[in-house]
Structure 1
Amino acid sequence: MAEEIIVAGWMDYEPGDRDSVLEQLVVLGARTREEEPGCLDYAMTADPGDGRRIRVYERWASQRDLDEHFATPHIKEFRAAVAGLTRVGVSLRSHTVASSRAMR
């Protein structure tokens, strides 16, 4: 297995801004999954129990793929689209996968 990277955590936005961010994340996620072969999974979802929170889960084939992701045009477009929205908290962690196995 190559060195996989998992990014997981959450981002909090002002309640009125969260849905706008999620709309932009739908576009970003589709482009990321379609255009970046090193992206193995990419999901940003609303937390049903918290009107501010977006849950983050990304899985990348390598650290290099994740690093390249941040330089893509669609990341720049996303950042410009949400620049006026208020993020009030964030907790994101990057994990290097040591081993993995299928679960039944």
Structure 2
Amino acid sequence: MAEDSATEIIVAGWMDYEPADRDTMLGHLVEVGKRTREAEPGCLDYAMTADPSDERRIRVYERWVSQQALEEHFTTAHIKDFRAATTGLTRVGVSMEIFSVAAARSMR
């Protein structure tokens, strides 16, 4: 089934890195998140955080206006720079999923 170009996308999950590499990776993620939010109008939210109960884990949450916006994100110069900067870091696990948002409502 093809995604509607106006369907919001959420990327959520976690990545585990060797404990010695996690904070370095997190620093790179903070920078790429800042650049993504500033330069990509299709990005609604982009947050990577250290899990306080696991020295290896980084929690991932991204929200995009569409699948196309997410796909374009992977072609940006700042993602290419990020990939080059993190080449030597050791990821030991990952669980990431992409969700298509059918509806949303405020929790007020």
* TM class, shorter-length: over 0.9
* Residue-by-residue CA offset, 1:12-52 (whole Å, 9 max, x unaligned): 00000000000101110000000000000000000000000
Aligned residue in 2 for 1:33: 37
Aligned residue in 2 for 1:21: 25
Q: Which TM-score applies when normalising by structure 1?
A: 0.98
Q: Which runs of 5+ in 1 are unaligned?
A: none
Q: Which runs of 5+ in 2 are unaligned?
A: 1-5
Residue number among 90, 95, 98 corresponding to 1:94 in the alignment: 98
| Alpha-carbon separation, structure 1, partners of 2:33 and 2:23 | 15
How far off is 1:80 after superposition? 0.6
Query: Hey, which bits of structure 1, 4+ residues long, moved more than 6 A?
Result: none
Give the root-mean-square deviation of aligned CA atoms.
0.5
Name the count of aligned residue pairs: 103
* Residue-by-residue CA offset, 1:61-86 (whole Å, 9 max, x unaligned): 00000000000000011011110000
Within-5 A mapping of 1:1-104: 2-104=6-108
| Alpha-carbon separation, structure 2, partners of 1:25 and 1:6 | 17
| Alpha-carbon separation, structure 2, partners of 1:13 and 1:5 | 25
| Alpha-carbon separation, structure 2, partners of 1:88 and 1:82 | 14
Give the letter for the 1:96 counterpart: S
Could you tell me the percent identity over the aligned residues?
72
| Alpha-carbon separation, structure 1, partners of 2:9 and 2:26 | 23
